């Protein structure tokens, strides 16, 4: 069993942090890798990229938004409760090297995934500018951690309640107009990643994105996580989760993510009743 040792509610309770005892995973995991969690015997398998690992303590940290029944079941778990299954580390780690100037862009809970990657690029000797965004100030997460993990942090909110009033893409464009960037990383909602990649492509900046399609086994067996990258079918769980953002078919990914929306809503509504 994988016991929760710390639990925090963020962004007005819509985002939950769980630090979980998982010593074998904590020892092996690298930035960019993910785990698949199941709360109980009947539970759905949910893939989540690790926000933090602590090999000495033997723990991993996940940060997720409550969006449906399964994450609502996760939210009910308190410190001392346990997930029945946590498998990982899965997927390929982020390829981190010294390239010069790196631009890390995160939105929503994608910021949690971006945090260890940003830190790794900075530790590798890169000059890292980070841009994070949320709909409003109270939905912004991990600002202090992202500040420490980067050389320069810019913050945006859609409603202007904090930082730049507007989308992360406005600031991405402003940075690229002024500076030469050698590598970008964009992690967040699909429309955000698509929009960031459309801009970085104009400036010829290689851009990594981390994809989170529906997954079942997480080991390349079921095909549930298939995505199209450069007209080739890839499995996000074993070929990713990170891909060249300029090659990803984001429209197809978005359509596949919405395939079970009605069923998911009905399931969530009956859970909440
Ligand atoms: Fe089954 Fe990736 S989750 S192939």
1 pLDDT above the threshold of 80: no
pLDDT value of position 154: 96
273 pLDDT above the threshold of 80: no
Residue of 217, 240, 241, 256 to test ligand 1 pocket, by largest number of atoms within 8 Å of CB: 217
ipTM of predicted assembly, 2 dp: 0.99
Closest ligand 1 atom to residue 221 Cα is: 4
Residues 77 and 135 placed together within one structural domain of the fold: no
Placement of tokens 């929306």 in the chain: 261
Q: Average pLDDT in the 202-207 region?
A: 96
9 pLDDT above the threshold of 90: yes
Residue 270 lies in a domain: no
pLDDT value of position 16: 94
Residues 170 and 62 placed together within one structural domain of the fold: no
Give the pLDDT confidence of 31-48 residue by residue, as tens digits.
Answer: 999 999 999 998 889 999
Residues 121 and 240 placed together within one structural domain of the fold: yes
Residue 139 belongs to domain with CATH number: 3.40.50.80
Contact 121, 148 (CB under 8 A): no
Structural domain containing residue 146 = 101-257
CA distances from 62 to 21, 82, 247 (A): 11, 14, 28
261-272 helix and 69-76 helix, angle to the nearest 10 degrees:
40
pLDDT value of position 122: 97
How many separate domains does the chain show? 2
Residues 121 and 229 placed together within one structural domain of the fold: yes
Residue 224 lies in a domain: yes
Range name among 66-80, 89-103, 131-145, 259-273 with the lowest pLDDT average: 259-273
CB distance 217 to ligand 1 below 6 Å: yes
Banded pLDDT at 170 (limits 50, 70, 90): very high
Residue of 38, 46, 214, 216 to test ligand 1 pocket, by largest number of atoms within 8 Å of CB: 216
Give the pLDDT confidence of 215-236 residue by residue, as tens digits.
Answer: 999 999 999 999 999 989 999 9
Nearest CA residue ID for atom 1, ligand 1 = 222
Taking the C-alpha atoms of residue 200 and residue 246, their distance in angstroms, rounded to an integer, is: 8
How much distance in Å is there from the Cα of 83 to the middle of ligand 1? Answer: 21
Q: Average pLDDT in the 61-89 region?
A: 93
Residue 39 belongs to domain with CATH number: 2.40.30.10
Residue 186 lies in a domain: yes
């Amino acid at each position: 069993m994988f016991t929760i040792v710390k639990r925090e509610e963020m962004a007005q309770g819509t985002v939950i942090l769980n630090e979980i005892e998982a010593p074998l995973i904590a020892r092996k995991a690298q930035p960019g890798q993910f785990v698949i969690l199941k709360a109980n015997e009947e539970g759905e398998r949910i893939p989540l990229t690790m926000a933090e690992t602590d090999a000495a303590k033997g723990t991993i940290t996940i940060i997720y938004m409550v969006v449906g029944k399964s994450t609502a079941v996760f939210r009910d778990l308190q410190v001392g409760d346990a997930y029945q299954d946590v498998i990982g580390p899965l997927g390929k780690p982020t390829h981190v090297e010294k390239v010069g100037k790196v631009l890390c862009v995160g939105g929503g809970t994608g910021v949690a995934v971006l945090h260890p990657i940003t830190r790794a690029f900075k530790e590798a000797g890169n000059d890292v500018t980070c841009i994070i965004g949320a709909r409003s100030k109270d939905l912004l997460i991990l600002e202090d951690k992202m500040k420490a993990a980067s050389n320069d942090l810019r913050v945006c909110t859609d409603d202007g309640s904090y930082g730049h009033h507007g989308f992360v893409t406005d600031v991405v464009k402003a940075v690229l107009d002024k500076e030469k960037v050698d590598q970008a990383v964009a992690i967040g909602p699909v429309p955000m990643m698509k929009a960031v990649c459309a801009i970085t492509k104009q400036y010829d900046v290689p851009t990594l994105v981390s994809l989170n399609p529906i997954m079942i086994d997480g080991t390349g067996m079921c095909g549930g996580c298939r995505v199209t990258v450069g007209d080739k079918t890839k499995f996000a769980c074993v070929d990713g989760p990170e891909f060249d953002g300029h090659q990803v078919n984001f429209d197809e990914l978005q359509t596949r993510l919405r395939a079970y929306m009605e069923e998911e809503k009905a399931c969530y509504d009956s859970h909440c009743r």
